[in-house]
Each structure stands twice: as C-alpha cells, then as structure tokens.
Amino acid sequence: MREKIVLDLGRLPLHGMGTGSVTWWGTLAFMLIEGTGFALSIAVYLYLMSLATVWPINAPRPDLLPGTLVTLILGISLVPNLLISRWAEQQDLRKVQIGMVIMSIFGIVPLIVRIFEFPALRVSWDSNAYGSVVWILLGLHTTHIITDLVDTLVLAVLMFTRHGPNRRRFGDVQDNAMYWNFVVATWLPIYGCIYWLVRL
Amino acid sequence: MNRPATAPDTHDTDIARTRLTSALAKTWKTPPGFWGALTTVDHKIIGRRYIFTAFVFLALGGVLAALMRLQLAQPEARLIGPDRYNQIFTMHGANMMFLFAVPVMEAVAVYLVPLMVGTRNIAFPRLNAFSYWIYLAGGALLWTAFALDMGPDVGWFAYVPLSGPQYGAGKRADIWAQMITFTELSALAIAVELVVTIFKQRAPGMTLDRIPVFVWAMLVTSFLVIMAMPAVMIASTGLILDRLVGTHFYNPAEGGDVLLWQHLFWFFGHPEVYIIFLPAAGMVSTMIEPFARRPAFGYLGLVMALIATGILAFGLWVHHMFVAGLPRLGDSFFTASSMAIAVPAGIQMFCWLATLWDGRPVFKTPLLFIMGFIVTFVIGGLTGVMVASVPFDTQVHDTYFVVAHFHYVLIGGAVFPLLGAVHYWFPKLTGRMMSETLGRWSFWLIIVGFNATFFPMHILGLEGMPRRIYTYQPDLPWHGLNVFVSLSSIVLTIGFLLFFINVFRSARFGEVAPDNPWDAPTLEWATTSPPPSYNFPRIPVVGSLHPLWDDRDTLPVADGLRTDRRELIVTTLASAGPQAREASPRNSIWPLLAAVATTIMLIWSIFSPWAVVWGSIPIAVALIGWFWPKGTPEDES
C-alpha cells in the first residue's frame, strides 16, 4: 500500500514516565496476579477456618510481638518509600541514591524480624491444616519481601553506576517504590488474618 | 543525563524508503543461525515457534486419543493395561488443555496482536522469549516422564485424595503438579505482555472502539488468565507441599479438606474453558468480515458479550461439583449462572448469523470452518445447558455424555475456529496460500469424522458408560457404538492428517500470497506477507474500525521514529494518543538462561524442598543479567 504521512512523532520523548511507561503497567499487571494469589490464600485460610470446630486447631494463638513489629517497620518504611518516589520524579540523583540505601535497609530489617515470626506462630506446617495455612501465608509474604529486596538492592547498586542518571532508571525507582507499597498493603490483611482473626 | 534526541539523519523523516527499510532491518533483525534462534525476541518468530510446538502437542495428544479408541473398540481388549490407560487419558487431557489449547491461542495472539494493533514488537519481548522456553520445558517434562512410565495417572484435574500422598505413590502426581507451574507461568507471562501491548502500544488513533474484536477477545482472555491461573498454582503448590513436606491442606484427618482442591481447581478450571473459547470467538468475529464482505454485525454487542462472558466465567465453577454434596442453595445459584452464560454466547452467535445473512458470503475454507464451528458449538452449548441442571448432571456425571459435551465445546468451539484461523492467517505467516482443495477435503473429513466420533458418545453416556474406564465387559450394551466411534475417529484422523499435509506442502509449494489476499480490513494485512522484522516501515495511523477498507490504496502513517534504536510508540489507554517513543529491548540470551535456571529449580523441587532455596540463586543471577543495562541506544531516555 502507498503510505501517506499524516503525523510526525519526532518530538515525542524517548521514554514515558508513570502511565506513559510500559513497565509501570507491567508492574501493575504483576501486582494483580500476586494480589489474586494472596486473596485466594486468604480465602483458603477462611475456608479451612469455617470447617474447623476449633480454630486454631490444636495450637495456642500465635505470639503477637514479632508480627506486630514487622507491621510497624513496614508501616514506617512507607515514609522514605513515598519520599524516594517523589525524589525519583524530580530526578534528584543524590537523594535517590540515599533513599535506595535506606529502602534496602528497610527491606532487610523486616526479614530479620521475620526469622523470629515463624516460631512465634507456635505451630508447625506439618502439625495440621491450620499450621499449613499460616505457614504458607507467612511464607508467601516472605518471598514477596525477598523478591522486592533483591530488586531494590540491584537497583540501589545501579543508581551508583554510570547507568544511574537516566530517566529510565528514575522510572524504575518509582515502579519499585510502587511495588513496595503493594508489599506493605498485602501484608495488612495477612497480618489481620494470622494474628487477629484467632483473637476475635 | 537526557541525551540530545538524535542527529537529524537518523530520523525516518529525512531518508528515502529503501534506506529507511534497510536501516530498520539492521536494527530489528534476528541474526541467522543457532545463536540468533536462541536469542531472538521477535514476537513473530516466537509466536510461530509457539504455534508449531502447540500443534506438535496436538498431534501427540491425538496419538493418545487414537490409542484409547483402539483399546475401546472391543470389550475386554488387552492392548493397553489399566495402569498405562490411566496415564494415557491423563496425559491426553493434561496435554490438550495445558500444552495445546491455552498455549496455541496465546501463541496466535503473540504473533497477531502486535501486528493488528500496529506496533513493532510485543510489550516485554524478553519475557515473551522466556515464556516460550518455560512452556517448552514444561511440555518436555510431561512427555519425558510419560516415556519413562512416570506419566501422571490421576486425571487431568488430579483430584485428591487420589493424587495426594496417601494414594498417589511415586512422583507421577508431582510431575502433573509441576507441569502446571511451568505452563501457568508461561501463560501468565503472555497475559501480562498482551494486556500491556493492547493497553499501551496501539497505533495512534486506535481508540477503544476501533480495536479489532480478536484483540478485544485477547484482552479479556488475558485478564481471565491473570485472575484464574493463580488459583491452580496455589492448588498445585499445596498438593506438592502435602506430598513433599507433609502439610495437610487436603488431609481431612488433620483439618484439611479434599473439596478445597475441587474449589481451587475449578475456580481456575472453569474460566480456563473461556480462556480457550474467547480467543476462538474473537477469531470468528475477525475472520467473518472479509468472507461475509461486510463489517461484523453488532461490534458493541460482540465486545460486551466477551466482557460479560469473562465476568460470568468466575461464577460457575461449582457446576463441576454438583455431585460433591454441597448445599442445595449453592447448587441452584450455580445452575442459574451456568445457564446465564449462554446469553452472551447467544448474542455473539446471532451477531455472526446476522453478519452472514446480510453479507455476500464467500465460502472459502476459513468460512467453512466458521460454519462448522457455529453448528457444532451450538450443539455443545445446548448439552451445556442440560448439564447445568443438577438432576440431569447427577445422572450423567462422569459418563461419556460429559466427554461428548466438552469435546463439542472445545473442539467445536475452539479447534474449528483455530483451524479456520490457520487457513486465514497462513499467508501472513508464510507468504504462501494454503491449498483450497486440500482445505475443503480436510474440513469435510474433520466435520463428519468429528460428529460421527463424538455424537454417539452422548448416547453411550446416557446408557451409563463411565468415562476413564480402560475396558468394559461384553455383556454391556456399549460394544456397537464403541466400534462405530473408533471407526469414525479414523475419518477424523485422516482429516487432521490432510490438514497437516496441506500446511507442510503449502509452506513449500503454495501459491505466493499478496499482502492482503482476502481483502481484509485489519492492520496485519497492511504489511508484507510475511512481515519484516520491524512489522511496519512506518507506524499506521488509524481512523476507523476497518482501516484498510477506508482507503484500499493508501495507508495513513506516522513518521519521526528513530531507526538506529528499536523504537515503538506508546499511546494513551483510551484515545490512543501518542505519549512517547519508547525503546523495545534487543535480542538477548538471558531469557533462555533464566528459563534454564527456573526449569532446574522447578524440577529439582519435586524431589527436595531445598531446591527452592539453592535453585533461586541462579535464577536471581540470570534475572540480574537480563535487566542490567547494556549501554545500547535503547537505554537512552
């Protein structure tokens, strides 16, 4: 077919930020997949709970302390996380570098507390179905934190290299911050499920 | 930081067309040879590969079906023993659902959607390459296990407790469960790519109401994949954990529940049917236009029907569990919703009929398959409404009636449109036409062979013949019909053989195809057959739902894209206004390496839970290698 040029795209930017970035949408789609996974895992918890005559099954209620500590740390981490997203939008390299280091620490600390959270469930995964489902909920979310932490660490290193000062990287930092918000948001219903449903 | 845009001579505005195409070819090409094949991220090469592999699995699944028909042709047959038969019917179902039906639809979309929306490559092309390798590994795992007498033998839906640690000794059920992880991972990856391609990479001007119906169908399907597949991944992970580390998700003795498996499986399994059917419906809506020689009747109705089906698909899963003893009120709800989904299916059906009625139909092979689809799918839909009723379902559950029903909806509803689609898009993929004579022969053999094979199964089911039995006694009244079914399946097989012969023959000797052999209205026909690596020399600008029918000689296009880096256009979600000239990744070996690392971890984890810990390290390394910037022009911003 003959072509008729009706539009000049030469002035468009070489990379879109926010909703103009395919990575942003891809992150959103992966969040939808994982969100569905978490929702279904919680549904499994509620389903098994609805079948049991006593819940928790043959186990004491889980200890509140480590889980609540993780919740607090994750809650506090939202402050630097929101700041780093703003700094990335302003393309402020220095602040973003510092922010990435802080966010790396905020990824590691909850994992350290998490080590104490598994024994605080006071039931083993192979004791009964209650043990299995709380372990899988906590395990899934731990995987979630680890994945985001690895992403954050790699991105933090990247921001200190020659590849750092690039709009594309600032977009990555924003997407990573958005994903961390999601990691925190998914924790809240899981926390409520594991620690508070059994106390109602 | 932000480098200056470019030197003026790298803008396509300034260079002649031949220079433009050779510059684009240099930037977008896949190098010839083995290394090029391993590293390519071209959606057309990967799509073709995906389609080919899926059809290989179709042929393998067909061989299994033929073996079952051979066995059942006479009572008390000794050809296949019960254990092997269990593996064969499980392999047939699992293979057809997970390795053929879902992947082939997504594969067609991987090839076509970027062309139909007028972009240069799919979104996340490396993920696309990764997805194919993972799919291939999952298929290889299943078939290698079968060859080693380790094939799953618990049915394609692997109900517990049969598949649980107590009854499912050995690793057969684990092979099934891990094959699920492979195929769902690959399907989810494509779903994400398609959603983002359709949302953000449509050609300028392709507003929501100018998206081809097939692309709409793939958008809805992708959302179904995203929302449904996590359910089966959770179910199968729970099964592997029960079998490997002693969790109790499905163990009633320790507070678990066997019906939990059925709920999770069918929460995925029913939408799965629409994951297979909706792309086929989209193909029909798209193909019918050039053969009816008029726009499809009721575009809005067709699109709304796709979306309505997608939503209703999540409200029907319990109709697979009517005999599981659930509360009656729940059964009634699911009966109602199962019948309700016939409404959007009916809307589409009437739209297609109206299109043909008002058009001037040309009965080429693709349209023949559409006609075959309409007739067969309606029969399957009617038996679907029958089994939606609890008393009737209770009678025919797990009989050949159900086998007949789902083959009518899956083969009639999805494979017939797919075969039509192969004939229709073959010239675009290969640059050659398929033989019309062979096409007609294969159509008639398949349609007659199919109905003669599967219609009598309704009667066998009503006569009480259970599915999945490896043999039956001579005094039961099933022999005559079983012989008839087995003989008819030979006709069906010959039809498929002719189809395959036609494909291979035409690929080599077929008549050379022009760019738009069917006078079709959608964008994939605006480029050459087969398309160049960069799809379009200049990105089309869309002004209507049928861009190639507006002006049959001239294509409105946009220029201003760079040729020295892989660049495509990102547009706004609803109005498809240009937003950015985004980079598209270059070829890379990392997706393959990541897939190899993932495969090792997943297979290892069938045997040891520590595989998840140690096996994740190479995956992380591969992913870092994948995403680490390489300093190419694509990294500029």
Domain ranges for chain B, please list them: 36-588, 590-629
The CATH number, out of the four listed (1.20.210.10, 1.10.1200.10, 1.10.630.10, 3.40.50.720), of the domain defined by the range B36-588: 1.20.210.10
Report the residue count for chain B: 637
Flag if B248 and A132 touch (Cβ within 8 Å).
Answer: yes
For residue B443, the Cα-to-chain-centroid distance in whole angstroms is 21
Cβ-Cβ contacts under 8 Å, A10 against chain B:
5, 11, 13, 559-561
Cβ-Cβ contacts under 8 Å, A22 against chain B:
123-124, 196, 200-201, 570, 582
A2-8 and B554-559: which strand pairing?
parallel
pLDDT value, residue B332: 87
Cβ contacts of B437 within 8 Å, gap of 6 or more: none
Mean pLDDT over residues B56-74, rounded? 98
CB B148 within 8 A of CB B87: no
- Name the residue type at position B514: P
Flag if B580 and A20 touch (Cβ within 8 Å).
Answer: yes
H/E element, B373: helix B365-387
Q: What is the pLDDT along chain A (200 residues), one digit of tens a residue?
A: 889 999 999 999 999 988 999 999 999 999 999 999 999 999 999 999 999 999 999 999 999 999 999 999 999 999 999 999 999 999 999 999 999 999 999 999 999 999 999 999 999 999 999 999 999 999 999 999 999 999 999 999 999 999 999 999 999 999 999 999 999 999 999 999 999 999 98
Mutation for testing the A interface, residue in B160, B196, B535, B544 having most A CBs under 10 Å: B196
DSSP chain A: -EEEEEEE-TTS-SS--GGG-HHHHHHHHHHHHHHHHHHHHHHHHHHHHHH-SSSSTTSPPPPSHHHHHHHHHHHHHHHHHHHHHHHHHTT-HHHHHHHHHHHHHHHHHHHHHHHHHHHHT-S-TTT-HHHHHHHHHHHHHHHHHHHHHHHHHHHHHHHTSTTSSSHHHHHHHHHHHHHHHHHHHHHHHHHIIIIIGGG-
**pLDDT for B499-519, tens place per residue?**
999 999 999 999 999 999 999
ipTM of the complex in this document:
0.96
Instruction: Label residues B54-76 b or e (16+ Cβ within 10 Å = b).
Output: bbebbebbbebbebbbebbbbee
pTM, 2 dp:
0.96
Percentage of chain B modeled with pLDDT above 90: 92
Mutation for testing the B interface, residue in A11, A12, A46, A166 having most B CBs under 10 Å: A12
* Burial category of B580 from C-beta neighbours within 10 Å (exposed 0-12, middle 13-18, buried 19 and up): buried
Which of B310, B318, B467, B465 minimizes the C-alpha distance to B388? B318
Task: For residue B560, give the nearest of A9, A15, A169 by CB distance.
Answer: A9
State the CB neighbour count (10 A cutoff) for residue A54: 9
In three-state secondary structure terms, B134 is helix
Q: Return the axis-axis angle of helices B416-430 and B258-292, rounded to nearest 10°.
A: 60
Flag if B538 and A40 touch (Cβ within 8 Å).
Answer: no
Report the residue count for chain A: 200
Mean pLDDT over residues B224-251, rounded? 96
318-357 of B, contacting A, C-beta below 8 A? none
d(CA B93, CA B265): 15
pLDDT value, residue B5: 46
Apex CA B281: angle with CA B275 and CA B286, to 5°? 130
Output the CA–CA distances (angstroms, integers) from residue A176 to A112, B5, B389, B623, in the order listed. 21, 27, 49, 15
**Residue B533 main-chain phi, psi, to 5 deg:** -55, -30
Q: Is some CB atom of chain A closer than 8 A to the CB atom of B120?
A: no
The whole-angstrom distance between A140's CA and the closest CA on chain B is 10
- A193: tokens are 């499920």
Task: For residue A9, give the nearest of B2, B569, B624 by CB distance.
Answer: B569
Stronger pLDDT, B599 or B335, i.e. the higher one: B599
Cβ-Cβ contacts under 8 Å, B637 against chain A:
13-15, 166-168
In B487-597, beta strands by DSSP E: 539-540, 554-559, 567-571, 578-583
Peptide bond into A56 cis (omega under 30): yes
Output the CA–CA distances (angstroms, integers) from residue B295 to B287, B299, B413, B474, in the order listed. 10, 8, 22, 55
Flag if A15 and B582 touch (Cβ within 8 Å).
Answer: yes
245-264 of B, contacting A, C-beta below 8 A? 245-249, 251, 254-257, 260, 263-264
The residue of chain B nearest to residue A10, with distances taken between CA atoms, is B560
The whole-angstrom distance between A182's CA and the closest CA on chain B is 17
Q: Does domain A19-199 have CATH number 1.20.120.80?
A: yes
Confidence of residue B1 (pLDDT cuts 50, 70, 90): very low
Flag if A3 and B537 touch (Cβ within 8 Å).
Answer: yes
